Structure 1
Amino acid sequence: MGASAWDHYVPYQVDLGAALEELRQRVFLAGDYFWVRGGDWLPEEERRPRPSTLDELRADELTQHSGTHSVLDVFHVQREDEEPEVCAVQPVTSEEARQAAGTERLTREHVPAIRDLARERWFGRCAVLHDEHGTPQEIYFWGWSGD
């Protein structure tokens, strides 16, 4: 199948980890992800209903290998000083923002300039986006996942 790109904008909050968890819950409840055991390519007797909790989804062995092709494949936000970790979200650093977009105060208009900072499968990125006055307004989460 190959990896899939995903991206989301959420209202700004100081705690990036809490924002990610709220986003993950919203995506899960909306069913906005690939459920490998529900595919019509499976024989009817092998199909399963979608899990009722994120923990059930995460515990499914086939899902662990194929992923959900969504933000559900990343589990936490790392600190800026940590090495990139599989299935985690790494915030865009000030230096990366300056190099990619020419500013540390990113806005929605800068998203095309930073999008390539998520290059690897099974990794996510996030960036705080500001309004025209420099006030944080939203958080942009994006990445690639799934097999």
Structure 2
Amino acid sequence: MGAEPYWYYTDYQTDLNLALDTLRKREFQAGRYNPAIPLLDFPITESSPSPGAQHSSIEAALEASDADGTRSILDILRVSDTPCPLSRDEFETALLGGENQEIIGEIFNTAFPLPSAELLALFGTEQPTHEMIESVILGDTNTDAVNAFWHSIDRGTARYIIVYTENQPSEIFFIGYSFD
């Protein structure tokens, strides 16, 4: 099985790590993670399966998920305030024993922001709206840019985008790939 994509919206908070923790707790309590639900269907909606937590803690769920990971936001432990330091190709080279091996541990389980240049390439603005994300990343309005965007996400990592409503931050969009 290959890496599985996932994505979520959560309310904006200035403390992005707190926003991530809140989202992780919500999905854990809902039981929307592997192995409770081996393959989730995205987007998550109010009608998505919600069997409740099947483990005593998020850490126990992570351990039970083994090498596949939870295939959910539970795999992401922290938010970085700087873009991912390696391209996907550099990341894969490091995993195979090449250069940059020393920073692999800093990349796994981390959500990184998109650089301004990528936001502009995808949306034409550094302040995308919910509708723009739905149309561009989850739709098909800019296929080349979206393919490059998806290709930039390494397994076991995520990206986040601050979503704007009337020029004010309103949501955080997390999107990533599972480990396997």
TM-score normalised by length of structure 2: 0.66
Mapped contact 2:70–2:178 kept (Cα < 8 A): yes
Deviations 1:19-61 (A, max 9, x none): 011100110110001117x87xxxxxxxxx9321112223x2x
**Structure 1 partner of 2:82:** 80
Partner of 1:2: 2
Secondary structure at the aligned position of 2:132 is classed as helix
Task: Give 1:72 shift.
Answer: 0.9
Unaligned runs of 5+ in 2: 39-52, 87-106, 139-145
Q: Distance in 1 between matches of 2:2 and 2:72?
A: 13
How do residues 90-129 of structure 1 correspond to structure 2 at under 5 angstroms? Answer: 90-111=112-133, 112-114=135-137, 116=146, 117-119=149-151, 120-129=154-163
How far 1:113 moved relative to its partner? 3.0
Give distance in 2, aligned partners of 1:82 and 1:28: 26
* CA distance in structure 2 between the partners assigned to 1:146 and 1:30 by the alignment: 21
- Whichever structure has more strand as a proportion of its residues is 1
Q: Say how many residue pairs are matched.
A: 134
Letter in 2 for 1:124: A
Flag structure 1 segments of 5+ consecutive residues without an equivalent. Answer: 40-48
In the TM superposition, what are the counterparts of 1:48-63 in structure 2 within 5 Å? 50-58=54-62, 60=63, 63=65
Distance of 2:175 and 2:72 partners within structure 1 = 9
Runs of 4 or more off by more than 6 Å in structure 1? Answer: none
Cα distance change on mapping 1:118 and 1:15 into 2, 3 Å = farther
Q: Show CA shifts across 1:52-82 (max 9, x none).
A: 1112223x2x523111111111111112155
CA contact (8 A) 1:101 1:113 kept: yes
Which whole-Å CA distance do the structure 2 matches of 1:19 and 1:70 have between them? 15
User: Which residue in the other structure is 2:168 paired with?
Assistant: 135
